[in-house]
Amino acid sequence: MGSPISVILAEITMQQFENEILSAAPTSLKLWTRYVDDVFAILKARDVDGFLEHLNGKHEAIQFEMEKEAEGELPFLDVLVKRVGDILVTSVYRKATHTDRLLDFGSDHPICHKKSVVKTLWNRAERVCSTETSLTEERSRLRRVFRANGYPNHVVIRWTVPQRKETDLGETRTATTRISVPYVRGVSEVTARILNKNGVTIAHKPSNTLRGALTRVKDKILTV
């Protein structure tokens, strides 16, 4: 998988494999959807084992493992799918080992990264939760999680309402240059605002890295 073309070839192979196995499937499927190497399928319970055997008998290098629904629920990526009668409802799924630890608001990272954490989780809740009840529960949980990770209310509340588009602000600036610079707390944000007015977009990167720390330790050991 080291070559840039490997991902493309893998996807082409899987699409061809899907066409072959689905066209020759011993049973009809109500749904088959795949994201990379995760598949969500719906078929009759009596046909599940036979269909799995059909999948694993086509190519010795492509083998599937199966997870069945339990009590009408089945996780798929970060979505929990629940069967209620003939309807599928969705909510956000977290593994049992999930700790609710986020990028701490007091950590030495650009404020834009911290705002992105809030925005991303709010947007995920809006897109994943299919019912008002699950959305309300997810919003309540997120507020508790943000509070536990030090996020102030004004940052959290800002992303609970729709944000205005850039055109609504009457701004038509287009960044022509993008540069990456080490992040310095209290300085980088001011510098980014100034450069942005002149068509330069700043991408912050850590000033202290694990590689740099290990290199310094190695140098010290060699000079002793």
Beta strands in the chain (DSSP E): 31-35, 38-42, 73-76, 79-84, 87-92, 177-182, 200-205
Nearest in space to 75 (alpha carbons), one of 93, 99, 87, 97? 93
Which range has the worst mean pLDDT, 10-14, 35-39, 117-121, 155-159?
Answer: 155-159
For residues 110 and 86, membership in a common domain is answered with: yes
Q: Tell me the residue length of the chain.
A: 224
For residues 108 and 149, membership in a common domain is answered with: yes
Q: Record the tokens describing residue 208, joined without a space.
A: 């202290």
Domain boundaries, position 217 = 171-223
Q: Record the tokens describing residue 56, joined without a space.
A: 């694993």
Q: What is the pLDDT averaged over residues 199-215?
A: 70
Confidence of residue 73 (pLDDT cuts 50, 70, 90): very high
**Domain C-terminal end among 163, 179, 201:** 163
φ, ψ of residue 165 to 5 degrees: the values are -75, 165
Q: How many domains does one find in the chain?
A: 3
For residues 104 and 156, membership in a common domain is answered with: yes
Q: What is this structure's pTM?
A: 0.71
pLDDT at 162 over 60: no
Structure confidence at residue 16 (pLDDT): 92
Confidence of residue 215 (pLDDT cuts 50, 70, 90): low
Q: What is the pLDDT averaged over residues 60-71?
A: 91
**Domain C-terminal end among 42, 67, 92:** 67
Sequence letter at residue 92: V
For residues 94 and 155, membership in a common domain is answered with: yes
For residues 133 and 112, membership in a common domain is answered with: yes
Structure confidence at residue 168 (pLDDT): 45
What whole-number percentage of the chain has pLDDT above 90? 47
For residues 75 and 158, membership in a common domain is answered with: yes
For residues 31 and 62, membership in a common domain is answered with: yes
Confidence of residue 216 (pLDDT cuts 50, 70, 90): low
114-151 residue pLDDT tens: 989 999 999 999 999 999 999 999 999 999 999 999 99
172-204 residue pLDDT tens: 445 468 777 777 777 777 887 787 787 788 777
